[in-house]
Structure 1
Amino acid sequence: MPMDVSFSFGSFDYFCNSIVIPLCALVGEKVEPKCYARNIDVGGNLLFQPATLAILFVALVMTSIMIYHIKSKYTAVGRKEIVMFFYAYMVIIIFELMLYSGAIPASSPIYSYVVAMYNAMIIASYIILLLNGFVGFQWAEDGTPTSLWIIRGSAIAGFIVTFFISIATFKNFAGFSSESPVLLFLIFYVFCPASLIIYVILQIILVIKTLDDRWPLGDICFGIAFFIIGIIGQYFLSELICNMGDHYLDGLFWGVVFTLLSIMMIYKYWDSITKEDLEFSVGGKTNVWEIKDPMINDEEMMVLAEEHYKLKQQVLGNRDN
């Protein structure tokens, strides 16, 4: 029976004692949660965390919808940069579906490599979000190769470094030890929160300094609130949720739900501070240019813009005559 574990800096055991974390089977004392959601039998196979898996499928659908709407805002600032974050989140969801369901058991020889990739993808997503925080300040022209490859390169570098540290820790080589995963602890519980705090501060400054509308601050506040509520429920109230939910739910379910809500608020915030520039008023009438294909490329977009400009000039010329 799992026993209470006290908090120790550099150790995941305290958190592993609360909820299911994929790396818990690979580091420290291999601690199990005190209470976790019951499993169900599907065709003779055990399916773990069924309620959490259902929310992950919902998250997959919602993320796809958000990506579609982001890609539809052709002229919005930072469109190409922010969509990378949502793609990264989608990949994380896919990893969680594999790991939480038990599709890849901890006894599998590839389990440690999958967990290492999962860890690396989480860090890459934080890096992408952090760098997106600077896009609104025009440190580089958004949508340009410079802007995109700074983010991509940083995310790839973060992925590679985290993957190596994870594997080295799990396999006990290059001076790393699974008994003392301090560096992984620092990455997850120091770097990630710090990145999030910096992103939030940057967005508050951006809204106050550059926008007349203060409503986006509400989106930021809701996003922060959802994230904090998720963390509290996930790590500190998991046993209570598990017992009250009759073992159908646990803190992991709570965390996934509120993580999705906080991700949705990031989208809502970005959507609220960006405007579509494809609406023009000519001759007192509003012409809304609706492009049917959301996957249109930049070259085609330039052709459409030039055609519209020529048409607008013709209309203005006729009015002058």
Structure 2
Amino acid sequence: MGFQFGSFDSICQRAALVICPLVGTDQGIEPVCYGRNIDVGGSVVFQPSTVFIHVVAIVMTAIMIYSIQVKYTAIGRKEMVMFFWLYAIIQFLAIFLDGGIIPFANASYPWFTAIYTGLVTAAYGCILINSFVGFQFVEDGTPLSLWSMRISCLGLFGVSFFVAIATFKQFAGFSYTSPTALWIVYLIWPIVCVAVYIPSQFILVYQTLNDRWPYGDLLFGTGFYCLGMVLLFIFSDTICNTIEHYIDGIFFSEFCVLLSVMMIYKYWDSITKEDLEFSVGSKVTAWEVKDPSLVGASQEALNNHYGGNYLPPSASFNTSDRKGSGGYPPNGGY
């Protein structure tokens, strides 16, 4: 079956997406080929290779979040870290959905899938908003900037969650037999966000930086993302049949998306420099004069100015010096 606007039929026949058991004419589209399952302690785990990628993604995201958090004064730090938190939560939830820990037939599966759909929509919205942070239309890190992003992401989550659950449960005019609204939210919205983010960052680098190396991070990230989508939506069943069901396109797609997310971090890190003003200002700078002639000249100038032998306030002295001279500083005074 060929590609059709608003229909998941051809897509779900190639790739086992988490929404596929909940859409279609008979509410459930089975892929032509999917990854092998394994038995772990009497429980069947679906897509074990994909679950492994989700775990790796969580670990790598935790490292990136920590690296962002320690750059206290970097531009857009709080806004960017929100995207990585959303990505980590999505990967954690995907373990239960892709791995079959929450079975398709379970009554809670549609609700968790709707939450997953809402989080994906919010994550793409977050990266879309982050594309404008660097232009400083609103000062980053301020309540206005942070709450604008939080409210926007929450709104996107709410709309997407409603569309998904209404489609799965068939109410408010939505239907799983004709999931056009869900199709737009699930497939078109991510493309729009990526299509805005990439050109905007090229413009940002061109206008504000002399360094052109961040272009490489953007190109690699875009390449990984596009490759992952191609492998998922076009070659997933081909890969699955070729490798005899051991892995399918979802494994490679998730891996490529992880690489693209890592390149987003690499790009942000390359264009932001931490302001070390506070750390430098909190340290005492020790000045040391190496040339003895300069030491003598400086001391002579101070003696002439104060009319005696000058000692700096930090210089040490003992009580015998003070008694012999009748006051501080010895042999002179201010």
TM-score band, normalised by shorter chain: 0.7 to 0.9
Partner of 2:313: none
Correspondence 1:64-103 to 2 at 5 A: 64-103=62-101
Identify which of 243, 247, 252 aligns with 1:254: 252
Shift of 1:123: 0.3
Cα RMSD over matched residues?
1.7
Going from structure 1 to structure 2, the CA distance change for 1:168 and 1:247 (only over 3 Å counts) comes to: same
CA drift of 1:246 comes to: 2.0
Counterpart residue identity of residue 141, structure 1: E
Deviation of the 1:312 alpha carbon = 6.8
Matched residue, 1:154: 152
| Deviation at residue 247 of structure 1 after TM alignment | 1.1
- Gaps in structure 2 of 5+ consecutive residues: 288-297, 303-334
Counterpart secondary structure, 2:90? helix
Tell me the SS of whatever aligns to 1:22: coil
1:50 Cα deviation after fit: 0.7
* Matching residue within 18, 25, 30 for 2:14: 18
CA distance in 2, matches of 1:160, 1:312: 52
C-alpha distance in structure 2 between counterparts of 1:78 and 1:313, whole Å: 31
Which residue of 213, 220, 223 corresponds with 2:221? 223
Q: Is the 8 A contact 2:74 2:275 kept in 1?
A: yes
SS in 1 for 2:267: helix
Q: Is the 8 A contact 2:55 2:92 kept in 1?
A: no
Q: Which residue of 1 aligns with 2:193?
A: 195
Q: TM-score, normalization: structure 1? A: 0.86
Question: Is 1:45 matched with 2:43?
Answer: yes
1:90: how far off? 0.2
The one-letter code sitting in structure 1 at the alignment partner of 2:180 is V
Q: How does 1:63-212 map to 2 (within 5 A)?
A: 63-212=61-210
Q: Report how far residue 311 of structure 1 moved.
A: 5.5
How many pairs does the alignment contain? Answer: 287
Of residues 18, 23, 33, the one that matches 1:27 is: 23
How far apart, in 2, do the equivalents of 1:22 and 1:53 lie?
13
2:224 and 2:42 map into 1 onto residues whose CA distance is 37
**CA distance in structure 2 between the partners assigned to 1:106 and 1:311 by the alignment:** 60
- Measure, in 1, the Cα distance between the counterparts of 2:282 and 2:84: 36
Please give the alpha-carbon distance, in whole angstroms, between the structure 1 residues aligned to 2:37 and 2:246. Answer: 8
Letter in 2 for 1:56: H
- What's the TM-score, normalizing by structure 2? 0.83
Aligned with residue 272 of structure 2, among 274, 278, 281: 274
SS at match of 1:228: helix
Distance 2:230 2:285 in 1: 58
The 3 A distance-change label for structure 1 pair 310 and 251 is closer
Cα separation, 1, equivalents of 2:41 and 2:192: 44
CA distance in 2, matches of 1:38, 1:166: 28
State the partner residue of 1:265.
263
How far apart, CA to CA, are the structure 1 residues paired with 2:285 and 2:146? 34
Following superposition, the deviation at residue 31 of structure 1 comes to 1.5
Q: Distance in 1 between matches of 2:131 and 2:286?
A: 41
Q: How high is the sequence identity, in percent, across the aligned residues?
A: 48
How far did residue 188 of structure 1 move?
2.1
Partner amino acid, structure 1, of 2:91:
I
1:244, distance to aligned residue in structure 2 (A):
2.3
Q: Provide the C-alpha distance between the structure 2 equivalents of 1:84 and 1:310, rounded to a whole number of angstroms.
A: 30
Contact 2:49-2:251 within 8 A present in 1 as well: yes
Deviating runs (4+, > 2 A) in structure 1? 307-315
Match of 1:56 in 2: 54
> Rg bigger for which structure?
2
Higher normalized contact order (CA 8 Å, seq sep 6+, divided by chain length): 1
